[in-house]
Amino acid sequence: MSAEAPARRADAGTILEVEGLSKRFGGLVALSEVHFSIRRGEIYGLIGPNGAGKTTLFNVLTGIYRQDAGSIRFEGALLAHPTPDRIAALGIARTFQNIRLFANLSALENVMIGRHVRTHAGVVGAILRTRRTRAEEAAIERRARELLAYVGIEKRGNELARHLSYGDQRRLEIARSLATDPRLLALDEPAAGMNATEKLELRKLLGAIRADGTTLLIIEHDVRLVMGLCDRVLVLDYGRNIAEGEPRAIQRDPRVIEAYLGKAPERGAGA
């Protein structure tokens, strides 16, 4: 199965382009003709009330679910029914809403596993411990330590992932994702459960990641964080686009306010 169709170099400035994306679960319409595009180097926010389809969208983007209709283009190439591992290889990495680390492995090992997709040693190399394999192993570990330092948990390298504090687990998950050398990093509620100080540090970290050339897609509930961090925001409700634009404009958009606060008593179900 080939994951990419011939590239369509539409806009060199666009990294991800989603059109008409729909996904149903039985009778439930989780996504309905969702469309947006993310520019290279921006921080793009995805918000919406609970059940709006944000995580479903993430799961479709990262190959966990298959869409029923619509297209996703990454760097101009069409992603046709890709698998999660293929997506990671192409350069999209993600974190999970309810952290999915390799809990019984050390923090360092977690990040080293992230390097898997960018390294090559096979069985023969591993068994013979060739010079190239050893060099690659050393490089993997070096890079993993760098990334631990980058997210600020270099002292925790030898601790088991499940022994880390909640905030550090979130950082570790980001470090692990960065180890795959993504060009687009998708974060599912990275600030969930963090206190104010941690959120501030997270904000700095995300800013640094962007400054280093990685585009970010963020689902976040903390409106202040989103408004302060994101360049543009897409609001979903009931699986549909409601509004898109700069944070300040979004905040004043009546449709968004309605989605969050409700308006009239006779709100249609689903539609």
Partner 1 sequence: MGFPHDMLSGLRRDPRAKWVGVVLVAASLLALPFVLAMAGTAWVRITNLAVLYALLSLGLNIVVGFAGLLDLGYIAFYAVGAYTYALLASPHFDIHLPWWAILPIGAAVACTFGVLLGTPTLKLRGDYLAIVTLGFGEIIRIFLNNLSEPFNLTNGPKGIWSIDPIHVMGIDFGSTTRFAGLAFSGTIKYYYFLLVMLVVVIVVNLRLQDSRIGRAWEAIREDELAARSMGINTRNMKLLAFAMGASFGGIAGGMFSAIQGFISPESFILTESVMVLAMVVLGGMGNVWGVILGAVLLTFVPEVLRYTVAPVQKWLFGRSLIDAEVIRMLLFGLAMVVMMLVRPAGLLPSAVRKRELAVPHDER
Residues that bind partner 1 in the complex, under the rule CB under 8 A? 62, 64, 83-85, 87-89, 93-94, 96, 100-105, 109, 112-119, 121-123, 125-127, 129, 133, 136-137, 140, 160, 162, 176-177, 179-180
Write down the least CB distance from residue 160 to partner 1, Å.
7
Write down the least CB distance from residue 64 to partner 1, Å.
7
Write down the least CB distance from residue 180 to partner 1, Å.
5
Write down the least CB distance from residue 205 to partner 1, Å.
19
Write down the least CB distance from residue 8 to partner 1, Å.
24
* C-beta of 177 vs 215, nearer to partner 1: 177
What is the DSSP secondary-structure string of the chain?
Answer: ---BPPP--S-TTEEEEEEEEEEEETTEEEEEEEEEEEETT-EEEEE-STTSSHHHHHHHHTTSS--SEEEEEETTEEB-S--HHHHHHHTEEE--TT----TTSBHHHHHHHHGGGG----HHHHHHT-HHHHHHHHHHHHHHHHHHHHHT-GGGTTSBGGGS-HHHHHHHHHHHHHTT--SEEEEESTTTT--HHHHHHHHHHHHHHHHTT-EEEEE-S-HHHHHHH-SEEEEEETTEEEEEE-HHHHHH-HHHHHHHH--SS---S--
* C-beta of 23 vs 240, nearer to partner 1: 23
